[in-house]
Amino acid sequence: MTDLTRNEAVSRYRPKVRPGYVLMWTLLLIGGIVMITPLLFMFSTSLKPGSQVYDLRLIPQDPTFSNYIEVLTSSGFARWFFNSLLVATIVTCSNVFFDSLVGYTLAKFRFRGRRFIFLAILSTLMIPTEMLVIPWYLMSANFGWLDSYWGIMFPGMMTGFGTFLMRQFFEGVPDDFMEAARIDGMNEFVIWWRIAMPLVAPAISALAIFTFLGNWTAFFWPLIVTTSSELYTLPVGLSSFAVEAQIEWEMIMTGAALATIPTLLVFLIFQRYIVRGVMLAGVKG
């Protein structure tokens, strides 16, 4: 084979770069830079003293960890962190349990009013949270739940989105598995727990991650229902650094940086479950 023929063969099988791919990757790169820039400035500001907060240089001139030491020792950050972790964990477990149980019931049992109940649950997604705050507050006041952990948690213990997500996944589980388990003498609760739940693990993972992150960053309702700083969640506690006389941006950014680390770790560790769960939910929906 001559050099000319070899060169022709190489050029023939060499993958060609399409202009559309170049444009797509360029836009993705630009979008990634735009999204990560605020995070970089947040971490950068957390390393600056108060006198350099308004210095827009990404690399601090005199970096210091004194802000982190002050946040961790002089404020209630540890208590706020614990409150957010406790609330997010309990609400996540409640969502996984009740949403999957209701979703399984609506998907695998045939009874009168099943479709109406599902539509009623689904219609709650159309109601803005701001419209529910007053009923939630009145309920909390009447039952004595104000300024308590239960008052923070009860609005999110079960969600319409989680019920919809789990129902869509349970619809794809073959009924033959349940029939075989019934023949073996299993009751319905055991069938749901030991047979159906392992088959929808991607949906459970996605629901748990979305619920945890949503409650970890919740601000509006915890701000309304709590008055004691002992019960502040992390977002509410960080807002206390913005007092009327002075806004301590370096402290706010430091606390936000510390609060962001767990969410970043959760996303990095479980991102494949998030993507897989969302993709499968879209296919089944």
H helix runs in 47-174, sequence order: 66-74, 77-108, 114-123, 129-143, 149-153, 160-171
Cα–Cα distance for residue pair 10/63, rounded to 1 Å: 53
Third-level CATH fold of 74-283: MetI-like fold (1.10.3720)
Measure the CA–CA gap between 167 and 247, rounded to whole angstroms: 46
pLDDT, position 205: 85
Spatial separation of the C-alpha atoms in residues 65 and 49, rounded to whole Å:
9
Nearest-5° angle of CA 126, CA 131, CA 137?
Answer: 130
Average pLDDT taken over every residue of the chain: 85
CA distance 213 to 127: 21
Answer yes or no: is pLDDT of 52 > 90.
no
Other beta carbons less than 10 A from residue 103's beta carbon: 27
> CA-based angle 271:82:207, to the nearest 5?
30
CA distances to 101, 129, 159, 201 from 104, rounded to whole Å, are 5, 26, 14, 13
Distance between CA 91 and CA 236 in Å, rounded? 18
How much is the CA Rg of the chain, to the nearest whole Å? 25
Which of 12-26, 79-93, 124-138, 244-258 shows the lowest mean pLDDT across its residues?
A: 12-26
Q: What is the mean pLDDT of residues 12-40?
A: 77
Which residues make Cβ contacts (< 8 Å) with residue 268, sequence separation at least 6?
A: none
pLDDT at 8 over 70: no
| Angle of the 77-108 helix axis to the 66-74 helix axis, nearest 10 | 80
Query: Tell me, what's the pLDDT at 156?
Result: 92
Say if residues 194 and 186 touch (Cβ distance below 8 Å): yes
* Cα atoms found within 13 Å of the Cα of residue 252, Cβ hemisphere only: 13
Task: Tell me what the mean pLDDT of segment 49-61 comes to.
Answer: 83
**Where are the chain's structural domains?**
19-65, 74-283
Contact 77, 190 (CB under 8 A): no
